[in-house]
Every structure is written in C-alpha cells, then in structure tokens.
Amino acid sequence: MNKVNIYLNQAKAFLGKFQKKEKKKGNPKPKQVSKRSVNISILTGVVVITGLTLLSSLRAITLYSRVTGLQKTITKVKQEKAQLPTQSQNIDKSLEIYLTNYVRTYFTLAGDAEKQAQQL
C-alpha cells in the first residue's frame, strides 16, 4: 500500500505542474496585417501558380513529342515488316507422314486396355 501511495503522490506532483489555461472571453479580434505583407503573400501565390503552370505545359509538350516520335518509329517498323518477303515453309510430305505416324504409334494410347498392354 505504501508503494501505491508513493506512486500516486508522484503522479499528482507531476500533473500539478501543468495548469489548465483559462479561455479568454469575448469576441476574437482580427489580426492587423500591413499592405506590404498582403501584397507579398499574393504575389508569392501568383508566382507559384504560374511556375506550376509552366512546368506542366513543358511536361505536356515533351510527352507529346515522345508520343509522336514513337508513332513514327511504329510506322517505320510496320512498313519494314510489310516489305519483308514472307517465307513459306516447305515441308517434305514424306517426312510429315512419317512424323504423324511416329507420334500416333508411340505417344497415343489405344482406348482398349488389351491394346494398351500390347503397345507397352
């Protein structure tokens, strides 16, 4: 119990250092600001907005030029692809027949269990 009382007294002493501020009664008064500080703040805002506008327009212009460059390269590639002669595959018919028979015999199992056992 002694330790609990000691801790409570320490907590009260610590919290006693902080005092609750009393609220001021009455209407709030507007802050007096000079014309110079108002002009500086307005000009700063205008300069910031103008700077952001210029940066965004530069970005849009560069992106547009990149897109047009990509479109030009795509059209060049398509034209080159169209100009290339198409290579037809000449497959020997006898080789094709041999390979289809090979696949059918060695890689396809029959539907009946007896035929499968014979194949294996």
Is 12 part of a structural domain of the chain?
A: no
| Whether the predicted pLDDT of 66 surpasses 80 | yes
The verdict on pTM exceeding 0.75 is: no
Is 109 part of a structural domain of the chain?
A: no
Tokens of 79: 């034209």
| Ramachandran region, residue 26 (left: φ > 0; alpha: ψ -120 to 50; beta: rest) | left
Is 45 part of a structural domain of the chain?
A: yes
Is 1 part of a structural domain of the chain?
A: no
119's CB contacts (< 8 A; 6+ apart) are 109, 110
* pLDDT band at 41; cut points 50, 70, 90: very high
With b for 16 or more beta-carbon neighbours within 10 A and e for fewer, the 25-61 pattern comes to eeeeeeeeeeeeeeeeeeeeeeeeeeeeeeeeeeeee
| Whether the predicted pLDDT of 54 surpasses 90 | yes
Number of domains the chain contains = 1
In tens, the pLDDT along 83-111 reads 876 666 677 888 889 999 888 887 776 66
Is 65 part of a structural domain of the chain?
A: yes
**Per-residue confidence (pLDDT) for residue 45, from 0 to 100:** 97
* pLDDT band at 2; cut points 50, 70, 90: confident
Parent domain of 41 = 36-83
